[in-house]
Amino acid sequence: MVTISRHQSIKPAFNARMTADQFKILSDVIYDYCGIKLSQHKKVLLESRLHKRLQKLNLESFDDYLSFLNSKENTDTELVEMTDVVTTNKTDFFRERHHFDFLSETILPKLTQRSTSLRVWSAACSTGEEPYTIAMALEEYCRDHHDAKYSLLASDISTAALHRAAMAVYSQERISSIPSDYRPKYLLRSKDHTKMTFRIVPELRAKIEFRRINLMDEVLPENEKFQIIFCRNVLIYFDRNTQLNVVRKLTNRLTPGGYLFIGHSESLLQHDLPIIQIKPTIYQQTNPASNGQDGKNI
Ligand SMILES: C[S@@+](CC[C@H](N)C(=O)[O-])C[C@H]1O[C@@H](n2cnc3c(N)ncnc32)[C@H](O)[C@@H]1O
C-alpha cells in the first residue's frame, strides 16, 4: 500500500479538455507571441502539451488557465513558460551534414579572404546541437588557418531549451551523429562513469553566447552584423507573411554577401528578398552593387 505523507499533494488524474473556442483563443495568443501557426488538427497536441502547465499550476480546466494567463501579473511570465511547452525542439548534431561540408569547403575560405574575424548566429538553436556543430566546423577550419577567429551567438525563444544548451550535456545516443574523430577533441565524458553522459569541452562552450531572442521581436540583435546566419527548421512553423518578416529582419543582420542557411523543407524562392539562392536551402545576401541580378555573388 502507498501511504501519502501530510506534505505530499496528490495531483488529480488529468483529463481537462480544451474546447474549440479555447483552442482558438490559445492558438491566437501563441501566433501573436511567437509566430507559430497551429492549425485546427493540432488541438489535441496543444491540449496535451498544456496539461503540463495546468498540472504545475494546480489548475483544473482550460478556463482557469486562460484566466491565469490573462491576469496582469502573470501574463508576461506565463507566455514564457507556455512557449517552453509549446515549441518543438527537435534537433541533432550535424543535422543536414551537407551544410557543414559546404560551410567548411566553400564559404569559410571565401569569407576569410575578406575578414579573419567571423561572427555567426544560430537563430533558433534549440538545445545547442546546432551551434556546437557550427563551432566544431569553425574550430577545425581555424586550426588550419591560424589567423582566423570566430564567435557565435546562439538564440532561441525557449528558456528550457536554452538552459539545456548552456549546460551542454548530452547522452551517448545524442552524440552518436558527431564524427568519431571529433568526439575525443570536443567532448568530455562524465566523471561519473555510470552516467554515460558527455559535455562539450570548455574551449568550445566559451565561444558561444546564448541569448533568449524571439524572432517576432521588432529589433533583432541591435547593431550586430553576422557573416553567417543559421535559421533552420523554424520557418516551417510560421505562415508565409511571418516567414517573410523574419527573413527580412535576418537579412538586415547579414554583412554584405553574408550567408543564410534554412532547413531542408523550407524555401524562400517565392519571396521577394535581397538574397539569392546559391544551393538549395543556402542563400547569400545580394551585394547591393550587383543588385542581385547576376546571381554571381559566391
Ligand atoms: C525544430 S527546432 C530547430 C532547431 C535547429 N535549428 C535545427 O535545425 O536542428 C525549432 C526551434 O525554433 C524555436 N522557435 C520557435 N519559435 C521561435 C521564435 N518565435 N523565436 C525564436 N525561436 C523560436 C523553438 O523553440 C525550437 O527550439
How confident is the prediction along the chain (298 residues), in pLDDT tens digits per residue?
444 454 445 455 468 999 999 999 999 999 999 999 999 999 999 999 999 999 999 999 999 999 999 999 999 999 999 999 999 999 999 999 999 999 999 999 999 998 999 999 999 999 999 999 999 999 999 999 878 999 999 999 999 999 999 999 999 999 999 999 999 999 999 988 888 999 999 999 999 999 999 999 988 888 899 999 999 999 999 999 999 999 999 999 999 999 999 999 998 877 789 999 999 999 999 865 444 444 445 5
Residue whose CA is closest, atom 27 of ligand 1?
A: 126
- Between the CA of 172 and the centroid of ligand 1 the distance, in Å, is 23
Nearest alpha-carbon partner for 97 in 134, 139, 123: 134
CA of 262 to the centre of ligand 1 (A): 12
208-212 β-sheet, strand order: 208-212, 149-156, 117-122, 226-231, 254-262, 282-285, 275-279
Q: What is the per-residue pLDDT for 166?
A: 98
Grid cell, residue 297, equals: 555573388
Phi, psi of 182 (to 5 degrees): -85, -25
Spell out a b/e string for 163-181, using b for 16 or more CB atoms within 10 Å of the CB, else e.
Answer: ebbeebebeeebbeebeee
Question: Whole-structure pTM over 0.75, yes or no?
Answer: yes
Does 156 participate in catalysis according to the annotation?
yes
- Asked if residue 236 lies in contact with residue 266, where contact means CB atoms within 8 angstroms, the answer is yes
Residue whose Cα lies nearest atom 2 of ligand 1: it is: 89
Round the CA-based radius of gyration of the chain to a whole number and report it: 22
* 86, 30 contact by CB (below 8 A): yes
Task: Give 124 Cα–ligand 1 centroid separation in angstroms.
Answer: 4
Atom of ligand 1 lying closest to residue 126 CA: 27
| 18: CB partners within 8 A, 6+ apart | 26, 43, 46, 47, 50, 62
Task: Specify the pLDDT at position 218.
Answer: 85
Q: Reduced to 3 states, what is the DSSP secondary structure of residue 140?
A: helix
C-beta of residue 278 within 8 angstroms of C-beta of residue 294: no
Question: What is the greatest pairwise CA distance in the chain?
Answer: 78
